[in-house]
């Protein structure tokens, strides 16, 4: 059997020749009288033969690999495959798999050479870059291609310093969890470098308390002409330091808002500087300002308009007045996704409702937005209301898609009322105002989540403007008191009952929320959701008593029968994680065409889940 060195050159070496030679030498070795010196010489000869045999086997394996289909791929295609492999390996990167994708270079000589010839494969440094020797070797292999450096700076200043000479050709620099004690040293060191190729800069410290940036008039020694993404966390800095012009993403985050009573932080709390920066960044697409909104505003800046025509996502968090002040100045498309979190002011009177007209004006200019889904989370423990409004409406089967509805919502609004004692009254007043002011008249899907059982809210009055609702989702024990409002208005309670004189020839008079014909105070009978066809119930107990309406199961059954009698039938009923027995479920299934139940019954389960309520 012969093998070939190349397609044009044939070697005369055969396996039979090799084996014959080895056998002959072995016989001579065994038959000869070998003194110590002769044995040493013989061992050296055998070692040489072993090396020859190894090279022979490697040569055979190389020729075999050359015949594999993947070996005929051009080097550029193979390198591209390595890039995909490197990306996938980064998702599962841990300190125990330090080499990650680099294992492909151990497959064969050809693969290793292809990897070494493409420096871009070595340009990415992740959170766990390995030892200092390995970092130096990888930097050498990367040559001068643009680098992507994403490091956990808690590894120490010495590790970060290895990259300092390469800042000039770094494309992305992300230093996370920088210890506050070495932040100044690190920023001063990299601040002496020029970064003309830098497109992304992220800095964050490990401490929850903010630290002041004192490294000089800029983050680097010179301009950043290509910077698009700037993210900084728990670092106080003057807004004049932020690069501007081509910036598309700006994220600035503080764990806590800087109080206005601290004069020493005034350089970091100047709204005029922020306004000047935003005016000079018309290319912004993603803006996140979390607990960093300045409060100091001069008279010359009040009423100024900031145009951000390309903004697609805006996240603002801070005290209500600071959020409103900035939001009133911003001018952007009505299709921009808003995430607004208002924290309590140091005042006893809640004024969070003042933000609603600002939001309404935004969603009506220049193209009016009509929401079709509306979610409400009421938290009676932290006295907060979270609202999510979306132009999309979920489609059946509902239990499979409701968990992440708020991800695509165009409006995310969170309000805290920690200093308010009568939170139930605030819930009713604020939600009623929101339904009147925001573009919710076309909402078809309504979801309410509340775990705590709280005093009743006049839901009929709150939602009287939402006449297009077709699906209602009630999640949690705190939403049970809305169910009585789903009953349609009743013109009479019996065939022989006479109408009141005041209603003669004028139709039925709308009842007050606390009024009933012959029983004094009773359940709410405000006609809401005349187009309701689907009801989704989660975390409810069908054996609970509903004030003025009896047991929850009886109330649901009466709602279904009454709406069917009034020619507005409830065609779909979904029950998830509710306490309901099989007999009750079967009774509802008989009267609802599309009935879904997850077969959960707490009474049949172990009592270990004692905190269910």
Q: How confident is the model at residue 514 (pLDDT cuts 50, 70, 90)?
A: very low
The reported pLDDT for the residue numbered 524 is 43
Q: How confident is the model at residue 612 (pLDDT cuts 50, 70, 90)?
A: very low
Regarding predicted confidence, which is higher, 506 or 563?
563
Mean pLDDT of the chain: 79
Of 111-115, 344-348, 457-461, which gets the smallest average pLDDT? 344-348
Hey, CA dihedral for 319, 323, 324, 326, is it positive or negative? positive
130 pLDDT higher than 50: yes
Whether omega for the bond prior to residue 366 falls within 30 degrees of 0, making it cis, is: yes
Regarding predicted confidence, which is higher, 605 or 162?
162
Hey, CA dihedral for 505, 511, 512, 517, is it positive or negative? positive
The reported pLDDT for the residue numbered 546 is 84
SS (H, E, C) 83-115: HHHHHHHHHCCCHHHCCHHHHHHHCCHHHHHHH
The reported pLDDT for the residue numbered 403 is 52
Regarding predicted confidence, which is higher, 375 or 61?
375
Mean pLDDT comparison of 266-275, 284-293, 597-606, highest-scoring range: 284-293
Of 106-115, 366-375, 449-458, 554-563, which gets the smallest average pLDDT? 449-458
φ, ψ of residue 96 to 5 degrees: the values are: -80, -15
Distance (Å, rounded) from C-alpha 461 to C-alpha 427?
A: 12
Whether omega for the bond prior to residue 19 falls within 30 degrees of 0, making it cis, is: no
Regarding predicted confidence, which is higher, 213 or 442?
442
Task: Please tell me whether residue 544 adopts helix, strand or coil conformation.
Answer: coil
491 pLDDT higher than 80: no
550 pLDDT higher than 80: yes
The reported pLDDT for the residue numbered 157 is 83
Of 163-177, 206-220, 312-326, which gets the smallest average pLDDT? 206-220
Q: Averaged over 138-165, what is the pLDDT?
A: 88
Regarding predicted confidence, which is higher, 530 or 499?
530
153 pLDDT higher than 80: no
Q: How confident is the model at residue 517 (pLDDT cuts 50, 70, 90)?
A: very low
The reported pLDDT for the residue numbered 352 is 72
The reported pLDDT for the residue numbered 25 is 64
CA–centroid distance for 287 within its chain: 15
Regarding predicted confidence, which is higher, 17 or 400?
17
Q: How confident is the model at residue 516 (pLDDT cuts 50, 70, 90)?
A: very low
Of 78-87, 239-248, 341-350, 581-590, which gets the smallest average pLDDT? 341-350
The reported pLDDT for the residue numbered 608 is 45
φ, ψ of residue 116 to 5 degrees: the values are: -70, -25
The reported pLDDT for the residue numbered 353 is 77
The reported pLDDT for the residue numbered 419 is 72
438 pLDDT higher than 80: yes
pLDDT tens per residue across span 244-287: 878 999 999 999 887 765 555 466 777 888 888 899 999 999 99
The reported pLDDT for the residue numbered 174 is 93
Regarding predicted confidence, which is higher, 14 or 414?
414
**CB-side exposure of 563: number of CA atoms within 13 Å?**
27
- Note the pTM of the prediction, 2 decimals: 0.78
pLDDT tens per residue across span 217-241: 678 888 889 999 999 999 988 888 8
Are 353 and 433 within 8 A, CB to CB? yes
The reported pLDDT for the residue numbered 398 is 60
Q: Averaged over 444-456, what is the pLDDT?
A: 85
Classify burial at 347, counting beta carbons within 10 Å of its beta carbon; exposed 0-12, middle 13-18, buried 19 or more: exposed
Which residue do the tokens 């979920």 mark? Answer: 394
Distance (Å, rounded) from C-alpha 84 to C-alpha 71?
A: 18
The reported pLDDT for the residue numbered 221 is 85
Which residue do the tokens 């992300």 mark? Answer: 174
The reported pLDDT for the residue numbered 605 is 47
The reported pLDDT for the residue numbered 102 is 83
Q: How confident is the model at residue 8 (pLDDT cuts 50, 70, 90)?
A: very low
Regarding predicted confidence, which is higher, 298 or 97?
298
């Amino acid at each position: 059997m012969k093998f070939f060195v190349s397609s044009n050159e044939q070697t005369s070496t055969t396996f039979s020749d090799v084996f014959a030679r080895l056998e002959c030498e072995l016989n001579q070795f065994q038959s000869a009288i070998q003194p110590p010196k002769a044995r040493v010489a013989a061992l050296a000869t055998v070692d040489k033969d072993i090396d020859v045999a190894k090279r022979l086997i490697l040569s055979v394996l190389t020729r075999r690999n050359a015949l594999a289909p993947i070996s005929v791929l051009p080097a550029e295609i193979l390198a591209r495959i390595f890039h995909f492999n490197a990306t996938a390996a980064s998702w599962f990167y841990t300190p125990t798999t330090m080499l990650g994708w680099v294992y492909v270079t151990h497959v064969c000589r050809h693969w290793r050479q292809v990897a070494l010839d493409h420096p871009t494969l070595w340009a990415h440094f992740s959170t766990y870059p390995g030892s200092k020797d390995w970092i130096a070797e990888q930097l050498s292999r990367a040559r001068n291609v643009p680098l992507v450096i994403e490091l956990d700076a808690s590894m120490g200043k010495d590790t970060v310093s290895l990259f300092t000479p390469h800042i000039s050709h770094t494309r992305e620099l992300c230093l996370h969890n920088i210890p506050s004690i070495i932040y100044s040293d690190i920023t001063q060191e990299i601040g002496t470098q020029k970064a003309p190729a830098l497109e992304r800069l992220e800095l964050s410290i490990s401490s929850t308390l903010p630290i002041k940036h004192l490294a000089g008039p800029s983050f680097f020694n010179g301009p950043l002409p290509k910077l698009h993404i700037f993210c900084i966390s728990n670092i106080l800095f003057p807004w004049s330091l932020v690069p501007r012009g081509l910036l598309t993403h700006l994220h600035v985050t503080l764990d806590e808002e800087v109080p206005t009573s601290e004069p020493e932080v005034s350089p970091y709390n100047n709204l005029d500087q922020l306004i000047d920066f935003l005016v000079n960044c018309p290319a912004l697409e993603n803006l996140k300002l979390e607990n960093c909104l300045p409060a100091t505003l001069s008279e010359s800046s009040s009423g100024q308009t900031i145009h951000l025509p390309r903004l697609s996502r805006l996240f603002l968090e801070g005290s209500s007045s600071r959020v409103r002040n900035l939001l009133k100045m911003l001018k952007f498309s009505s299709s921009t996704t808003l995430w607004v979190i208002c924290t309590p002011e140091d005042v006893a009177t809640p004024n969070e409702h003042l933000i609603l007209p600002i939001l309404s004006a935004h969603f009506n200019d220049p193209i009016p937005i009509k929401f079709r889904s509306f979610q409400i989370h009421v938290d009676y423990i932290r006295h907060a209301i979270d609202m999510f409004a979306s132009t999309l409406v979920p489609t059946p089967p509902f239990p499979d898609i409701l968990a992440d509805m708020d991800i695509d919502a165009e409006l995310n609004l969170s309000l805290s009322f920690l200093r308010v004692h009568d939170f139930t009254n605030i819930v009713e007043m604020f939600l009623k105002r929101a339904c009147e002011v925001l573009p919710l008249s076309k909402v078809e899907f309504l979801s309410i989540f509340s775990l705590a059982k709280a005093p009743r809210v006049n839901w009929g009055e709150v939602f009287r403007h939402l006449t297009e609702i077709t699906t209602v989702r009630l999640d949690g024990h705190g939403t049970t008191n809305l169910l009585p409002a789903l009953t349609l208005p009743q013109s009479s309670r019996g065939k022989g009952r006479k109408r009141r004189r005041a209603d003669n020839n004028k139709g039925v008079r709308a009842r007050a929320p606390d009024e009933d014909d012959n029983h004094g105070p009773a359940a709410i009978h405000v006609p809401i959701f005349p187009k309701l066809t689907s009801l989704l119930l989660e975390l409810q107990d069908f054996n609970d008593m509903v004030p003025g309406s009896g047991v929850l199961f009886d109330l649901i059954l009466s709602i279904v029968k009454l709406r069917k009698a009034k020619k507005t039938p409830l065609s779909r009923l979904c029950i998830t994680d509710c306490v309901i027995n099989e007999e009750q479920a079967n009774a509802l299934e008989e009267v609802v065409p599309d009935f879904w139940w997850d077969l959960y019954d707490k009474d049949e389960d172990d009592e270990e889940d004692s905190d269910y309520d």
